[in-house]
Structure 1
Amino acid sequence: MTAREQITRKPDRLSPTATAPLKGAAWKALTAKFPARTVPDSWPASTHSAEEVLERLDRPPLRAANMSTHCARRLAARHILAWLESFPGESWHQRWSASSAHRMGSRWRTEALAWLHARNVNVREEELRSGLLALLCADVFRPDLGWLSENCRRLHWRIAMTVHRDPDGFRRLEELADSGLWDATLGLRARNQLAILLMAKGGVINDITVGDCLELREIEIKTLSLKGGGHSLFYSLLKGLGTFPGDAPATLRGMTVHTGQVGVGQLVDRYSLQFGPARDVIVDYLSERQPVMDYTSLENLSRVLALHFWKNLELHNPGIESFHLTPEVAAAWKHRLQTKTAQRKQPDGSVIDVVSPRRNVVQLMSLVRAFYLDIAQWAAEDPSRWGVWAAPCPISQAECTHKKHISHRKARMDQRTRERLPALPTLVAAADKQLKNARIRLDAVRAAQARQSFTVLGEVFAKATSSTSANPESSTMVTDAAGRRRDLGQAEKRAFWSWAAVEFFRHTGVRIEEMLETSHHSITQYTLPGTGELIPLLQIAPSKTDEERLLVVGPELADVLSAIVCRVRDSTGAIPLVESYDMFEKTWNPPMPLLFQWRSGGQDRRISESLIRRGLTEILQESGLTDAAGEPLHYQPHDFRRIFTTEAIMNGMPPHIAQLILGHKDIGTTMGYKAVYPEEAINGHRAFIARRRELRPSEEYRAPTDVEWDEFLGHFERRKVALGDCGRAYGTSCQHEHSCVRCPLLRVDPAQRPRLQEIQENLTARIDEAEREGWLGEAEGLRVSLAATNAKLAQLGERTRRAATINLGIPTFREIVGRTATLPALKGPATE
């Protein structure tokens, strides 16, 4: 926390920023597009009599292979049907709905048992459960998904539905699943979900719709809090059958958290503005600007106008109804805009508000100023629509000056680059070491037997079972010495993709979204017309500037790309097609053979930005790098882009070529990425001195005469004094009247220590004499000389201690000198 930050215990009035968040908007649109099947009140199997139902249970495929199991299920089913007959309805499903069972959850058996016991029917709770299973397999009635999700997730329910309802459908799904996954924890969970869908909606596997799957996942998330990608494997298996429509989503992973694109009204309404007419004007303004803006910019503009501008004014000025702000209101709003409030969790678990300066305040005020100026211009063109809202702009042009902001940002970014560029080799070495160690651990756990302890890299592990494979021998899950479970297979995956990201970043200088959208199609080659030489190229898909570009692939980058391609290929040699979510445009990209993908939870998916950032953090922790303040050094993916630019230009790449490689529209942006180093200023200054020297009088650079040379050499001879050497510069006279003891330029010869001690004793005696005789002025001057003598003796002691250091074998200058020049005599002409 900086000195400028202020901590307050009271929450800021503006802290509830979004009362209607957009999270899950994409899910709502998906459920509206793919509605779930409705359950009718009756169907043929639900209208049969009790005897007809029991007769169906006696015939395959509903008849259990074990006779005792079949008899127990049949008898319990008879009792349940007798109980349901006590409720009104023309079908068994209507009677089930009329009973209290669908509202009581697992307690329905208590009600049924009480009714049966009252009629002298002896039956146990476990028997009723088996009878219910037989009736659900026969599709006699269909409980809702919520009831089934809470009460029917046992092993025998899944097995019974697989055997008695649709064995062929389950067999086809098993063929689509990975080897060993069908009987692993993830596979069993998916089969449970499929069985629940069949019991709730009826039919067979091919009858399940996209809407059914969406309804089940929504219930699991909201009611049972079953989140995570591993709970959507059942949908991916169904999608692989080819029964879903072509526009069905490729996966349900992450669908509930993505917002998707929403309308302008929803973007504004998430902030619950109080004054409706102002809300309508902002919506109309955004609608006018929407055709020429991308979705990210539109969302940002809606946030600025609705939250930072009007919501802020409403919270601090209740009842405000006009864009015409008084000077006091405008000044207070601009003052509040200078800071932002963020919540920070403390070690004791409490949460406090941290107020810090807002760095992008100039951009926010620029957007509000543009809002005022646009409405003023549109009011002249369409007075009936915009004229009533035209008002003087409360923000002047001077307040929107970006010059100081840009210079401060440039200084911060240059400092980051200067700190991180020298540390890049250490970071690269740490990433490589982490990957090698992860592979060593992975090889060790694969070679170990199930539940066997083994030691690798000084750590002791015990092999454990895994949720992704039914074979315990193929598990990569271990328990370390502290009792924590660790998946060494997942650790090796994270280490590989962290290493690949570091190498990709530093060799290409691309943005993180561009790296994650790089596909197998991006790797191409170009044949030179003259020589026929093949030049490997990497095509970067359009991102921020909507302009694609090509990079030449060097040998190092080619090795990285080769390692990635070899890793992501499937058993057929092809790279799987993966749908990815564009975090900026809030849309799903079409399936592509992305390079940065992995298989997680039995599904192929794109690697996320958060995983790349966590990987960088793990590498930095491994490397132990620190900044100038001694704090752990942090790398952002964009730091590699600035480092790439700085290295390229410093090593001779023309800035306009670097501009094309980076995809910048303005060369000024490219030069802004290039960090300024002190060496450049030094070299520039030296070049200036050389140019200035060329303009000075030529006689200053003539050859010296013999007299001038003798005078120069004689200067060094005259610097020799009794106590040592005088350090005054050539051409200067003594400024201390040859009082050498007091002179700071005197460098005492260690051999003259006895002489200096004699002077010290003499000065002490003379001071005593002057004090006895009353010569106070003489005594004061002698004390100054004595202090200078003591200082000279202290300097000699320090030099003696430094000379007494241990000899490390490094030769001194006197030992490596090649020859010794002899100075000529002072009298006579200079000789060579």
Structure 2
Amino acid sequence: MSATAGVAVHGSKTVRLSGEALKVIRERFVPRPAIETWPATQDGADGIVARLRAAPLRERVPHTQWCRVTGARQILGWLQTFPGETWQQRWNASPAAASGQEWCRRATEWVGATGPVTGPIVSSGLVALVLADVVRPSLEWQLTRRAMNLQDRLPAMRDPDGFARLEALAGPERWASLTGRQALNALIRIMVAKGGTLADIAVGDALEYLDALRAHHSQSAGHTLFYAWLRALGTLPDDAPATLRNLSRATGQVSVEQLVDRYHLQCQPVRDLLVDYLKERQPGLDYATLDNISRFLARSFWADLEAHHPGIDSLRLPPDVATQWKQRARTKTERRRRSDGTMYDVVTPRLDSATLMIAVRALYLDLAQWASEEPARWGPWVAPCPISEADLNLKKTSQRVKARMDQRTRERLPALPTVVRTAKELLDQARLRLDAVREAPAGARFEVLGETFTRAKRPGSTWAYDHAGGRRDMAKREHRAFWGWATIEFLQHTGARIEEMLEASHHSLIQYRLPTTGEVVPLLQIAPSKTDQERVLLVSPELADVLSTIITRIRDPRTGAVPRVVAYDYNERVWNPPMPLLFQYDRSGEPSHMTGEFLRACLNDVLDATGLTDASGLPLDFDPHDFRRIFITDAIRSGLPPHIAQVIAGHADINTTMGYNAIYPAEAIEAHRAFIARRRSLRPSEEYRTPTAEEWDAFLGHFERRKLSIGICARAFGTACIHEHACVRCSMLRPDPDQRGRLVEIRDNLLARITEAEREGWLGELEGLEVSLAGAQDKLAQLDAEQTRRSAAVDLGIPTFRNVAGRHSASPLRPG
């Protein structure tokens, strides 16, 4: 469970660390103060009116100009009744500064106390004073009333060059969109409240605006595009946050004291000991491990002891206390809901109990060892360890985990084709619905896939209403369907971890020219992750299709480049540098990285549509890591040597790889490998000789005998046909595109024979014919997919490293 989650600890809640990164940024970047004196607000009333009558403040329409000047005079006359040496000071002293909403309702009453006025003229006068920078209403004031329609005038008056650059960077489509107008409004509001140009807007100003926006509008998610525009302008300092998204949820790397204090430990000496102990180990740990150990020791160990044994203050645990704690550590209590809605408690084994006990045992043993070096510091805390070696006998636990993993793999491996097919069907259907709603006029009815919808009346909207009154956002559904499909395809073809998938970028695609044949091979570079081991994977044609589709989708339509985005590492609690990540999307105009939480939700959408169930009848669930286990199992089952599978999977130990394999036990693999080694050592050297002419002819003849009327057989040399020459059914048949017509004839003949068998009641023959028909249709589908892949080639922009081809051994490769 994440350390940032508010996990209950026996009645008390942990301190939430989410938002700590935002606190650090607020301390580092403070907003500009709201000043009350500057040249424009110190002018006299006559000087201000004169400025309003001259360029650039003068309005082109005479009536508008008269309203602006008249309203400004009336407001200035009213403000003179309040104390202050500048117009801003008088504004702050007036009731108008307290609430923008009050100004809208009572401006005529307030200003009318000094003479006859009308509401529109007063509102027009206030706009003139804001444009002239005479008064600066606060951000809160601006957010509590309707916009003053400054988008057309203020940019040209305050910073024409800056806004022109910004518009060019954003592009005309984004600039004119709803999110673009919201971003422009945000920048204008900040300039109205603080003055200056775009280059003067500070990071603190942006944070202050977001705080004010959230205070007045709870639905303010996605309103950070203005900050991305400022970053693109290059006006912010180099150490400014790369994005303001999700800062309220991020923790950043907090101190050890914060990691321990989130669990409210009562015994101060023990609390100080745990802080000191963790600081001593911190240099040798990554942050994720430090976070886990702090949670084990502070929450699962000491906070649990304090909850069940109030007043405990020593690590020397009585035998009964230690026994009770170990029993609690091995199990956990979950609240579950019955079918009638009532809740009940159930005790289940804790999966991380062994890791917890290892952390506690390490604490006791470390203290005992360190006490010999620093007795004054660690000696008082040395105590007998309550965790014995017998408690850490993980053989049964490992066997249970292996059995559970194997069972998951065996259940999900046969279901994988269904999941893949369903993901593609959902994507195709979502695209058809999205195209239909875009083609339909606003407010019109349209039909797609047998369903009738009515498009929303707002121009450009992708919302549609069905006959039952439900509302669907077709663009959002297509978005989720696409990334669900992309996630499944990427994971099943690479066997990568989900964090590795999220870190895959456009730079991960490289080309390598084989030094022997000169063939160019596409490779996918997997960045160091769990084991800090970088590796490369061969890109199969199917994976190339997926990658090309993703790159085509995320490319900037103006430049053709993949946008660089900043991703938050939820394990190490740091922001990674900007990179052209593959799993990104346009979120309210700002390129944003995908999160594992979102991709899991997209995966669940596909699983819900499959209707698959497990052995207990419950809906079959897929975790992203299940695809990794399936990938390794299928690879080894298909004949890939385990040590090669280990390299592809990025495991440091082959036993880990074999633990993922659900087909063959580790003992059988090791025994087989040992047998091969012994056989090679005992085999007489005479066997390693030049083949005879007859043997060579037999080898060449094998390839001639593989040629068939509809393709070629891919079985290995020296192997017999295992399907009794039922080639249409065989997965080893590689159909020839030139023989498609012959395959169509075979399929049509099978359909006719099936019809005859159904009519005559030949049920025994019917089953065999249906199997052959499925094989023929599968071969036709392979040919169609190959044709589509060749006709839909996409330039991926893969970098070429020509020097890599020259880095090969000077000695020729020898067989064996």
Q: Deviations over 1:121-177 (max 9, x none)?
A: 2334554433333222222232332232223x4262444534544444333323222
Residue 591 of structure 1 pairs with residue 578 of structure 2: yes
Is 1:660 the counterpart of 2:647 in the alignment?
yes
Between the aligned partners of 1:285 and 1:600, the Cα distance in structure 2 is 43
Is contact 2:159-2:198 (8 Å) kept?
yes
SS in 2 for 1:373: helix
Establish whether residue 558 from structure 1 lines up as the match of residue 544 from structure 2: yes
CA gap of 1:328–1:57, structure 2 versus 1, over 3 A, is: farther
Check whether the contact 1:439–1:492 (CA below 8 A) recurs between aligned residues: yes
* Residues 308-457 of structure 1: pairs in structure 2 closer than 5 A: 308-341=300-333, 356-457=348-449
**Within 2, Cα distance between the matches of 1:159 and 1:660?**
60
Report deviation, 1:527.
2.3
Asked whether the equivalents of residues 637 and 663 of structure 2 are also in contact (C-alpha less than 8 Å), the reply is no
**1-structure distance, mates of 2:103, 2:439:** 50
Cα distance, 1:196 vs. partner? 1.0
Structure-to-structure mapping, 1:232-311, within 5 angstroms: 232-311=224-303
Task: Determine if contact 1:47/1:92 at 8 Å carries over to the other structure.
Answer: yes
Structure 2 CA distance for aligned equivalents of residues 561 and 336 of structure 1: 48
Indicate the residue corresponding to 1:95 in structure 2: 90
Tell me the distance in 2 between the aligned counterparts of 1:617 and 1:90: 64
1:182 partner SS: helix
Aligned to 2:117, which of 93, 118, 123? 123
- Separation in 2, partners of 1:579, 1:465: 36
Letter in 2 for 1:254: N
Distance in 2 (CA, whole Å) between partners of 1:218 and 1:342 is 38
Q: Tell me if the contact between 1:83 and 1:112 (Cα under 8 Å) persists in the aligned partners.
A: no
- The Cα shift of 1:210 comes to 1.8
Q: Partner of 1:175 in structure 2?
A: 168
Deviations 1:65-121 (A, max 9, x none): 3333333333333333233323322222222333344334422566765554555x2
Q: For the residues of structure 2 that align with 1:45 and 1:281, how far apart are their CA atoms? A: 60
Q: 1:604 matched to which residue of 2?
A: 591
- 1:47 matched to which residue of 2? 42
Q: Report if aligned partners of 1:418, 1:677 keep a CA contact under 8 Å in 2.
A: no
1:16 equivalenced with 2:12 (yes/no): yes
- Whether 1:26 aligns to 2:18 is no
Residue 669 (str. 1) matches residue 656 (str. 2): yes
User: CA separation of 1:650/1:13 partners in 2, compared to 1, >3 Å: closer, same or farther?
Assistant: closer
Q: Percent identity, please.
A: 52
How far apart are 1:628 and its partner, in Å? 1.6
The residue that corresponds to 1:209 in the other structure is: 202
Larger of the two Rg values belongs to structure: 1
3-state SS, counterpart of residue 42 of structure 1: coil
> CA offsets per residue over residues 553-580 of structure 1, 9 Å max, x none?
2222222222222222223222221211
Point out the more displaced range, 584-593 or 153-162: 153-162
**Per-residue displacement from partner, 1:25-73 (whole Å, max 9, x unpaired)?**
1111222222221222311112122222222222232233333333333
Assess if the C-alpha contact under 8 Å between 1:220 and 1:226 holds in 2.
Answer: no
3-state DSSP of counterpart to 1:592: coil
- 1:507 is displaced (CA, Å) by 1.1
Question: Contact 2:555 / 2:562 at 8 angstroms: preserved in 1?
Answer: yes
The residue aligned with 1:136 is: 130
Q: Distance in 2 between matches of 1:160 and 1:346?
A: 63
The answer to whether the 8 Å contact 2:330/2:350 transfers is yes
Judge conservation of contact 2:427–2:482 (CA < 8 Å) in 1. yes
Change (3 A) 1:559 1:71: same
Match for residue 66 of structure 2 among 68, 71, 74: 71
SS in 2 for 1:243: coil
For residues 321-348 of structure 1, the C-alpha deviation after alignment (integer angstroms, 9 at most, x for no partner) is 2222222333333333334355678999
Residue among 215, 219, 225 paired with 2:218:
225
Q: CA-to-partner distance for each residue in 1:339-371, whole Å, 9 max, x for gaps?
A: 435567899999887764422122112111111
Residue number in structure 2 paired with 1:145: 139
Give, as a single letter, the amino acid of the residue that structure 2 aligns with 1:491: R
Measured at CA, do residues 300 and 176 of structure 1 come closer, stay the same or move farther in structure 2, by a change above 3 Å? same
Q: Judging changes above 3 Å, is the alpha-carbon distance between structure 1 residues 389 and 88 closer, same or farther for their aligned structure 2 residues?
A: farther
> Which residue of the other structure, out of 184, 189, 195, is the alignment partner of 1:191?
184
How much has 1:409 moved relative to structure 2? Answer: 1.1
Residue segments in structure 1 that go unaligned for 5+ positions in a row: 1-10, 467-471, 685-804, 814-832
1:435-468, Cα deviation, whole Å (9 max, x unpaired): 22122223223332333221111122223367xx
| Equivalent pair of 1:511/1:641 in contact (CA under 8 Å) | yes
**Could you tell me which amino acid in structure 2 is paired with residue 70 of structure 1?**
Q
Q: Distance in 1 between matches of 2:452 and 2:327?
A: 59
- 1:397-439 C-alpha deviation (Å, 9 max, x unpaired): 2222222221111111111111100011111111111122122
**SS of residue paired to 1:23:** coil
Assess, with a 3 A threshold, how the Cα gap between structure 1 residues 811 and 181 changes in structure 2: closer, same or farther.
Answer: closer
1:204 Cα offset (Å): 1.9
- In the superposition, the TM-score normalised over structure 1's length comes to 0.76
Per the alignment, residue 516 of structure 2 pairs with 530
Residue 809 (structure 1) aligns with: 762
Counterpart selection for 2:608 from 612, 621, 634? 621
Count residues in correspondence: 671
Amino acid at match of 2:27: A
* 2:528 match: 542
- Normalising to structure 2: TM-score of the pair? 0.77
Change (3 A) 1:165 1:368: same
**Preserved CA contact (<8 Å) 2:127 2:148:** no
**Matched residues in 2 for 1:541 and 1:370: separation?**
31
| Residue 200 in structure 1 maps to residue 196 in structure 2 | no
| Structure 1 residues 285 and 57: CA distance shift in structure 2, 3 A | same
- The CA deviation string for residues 172-216 of structure 1, in whole angstroms up to 9 with x for no partner, is 323222443323321221122112101111012222122211111
Letter of the structure 2 residue corresponding to residue 452 of structure 1: A
Aligned to 1:486: 472
The RMSD of aligned alpha carbons is 2.9
CA contact (8 A) 1:12 1:341 kept: no
2:173 counterpart SS class? coil
Residue deviations 1:279-302 (CA, integer Å, cap 9, x gap): 221111111111111111111111
Q: Distance in 1 between matches of 2:346 and 2:82?
A: 61
Distance 2:58 2:427 in 1: 55
Q: How does 1:466-477 map to 2 (within 5 A)?
A: 472=459, 475-477=461-463
Deviation at residue 392 of structure 1 after TM alignment: 1.9
Query: SS of the residue aligned with 1:525?
Result: strand
Q: Which residue number corresponds to residue 7 of structure 1? A: none
- Correspondence for 1:62 among 40, 57, 60: 57
What amino acid maps onto 1:373 in structure 2? Answer: L
| Cα distance change of structure 1 residues 176 and 478 upon mapping to structure 2, 3 Å threshold | farther
Q: In the alignment, which residue of structure 1 is the partner of 2:696?
A: none
Q: Deviations over 1:539-558 (max 9, x none)?
A: 11100000001111222222
Q: Which runs of 4+ in 1 moved over 6 A?
A: 343-354
Q: Against the structure 1 CA distance between its residues 504 and 116, is the aligned structure 2 distance closer, same or farther, given a 3 Å change threshold? A: closer
CA distance in structure 2 between the partners assigned to 1:33 and 1:128 by the alignment: 41
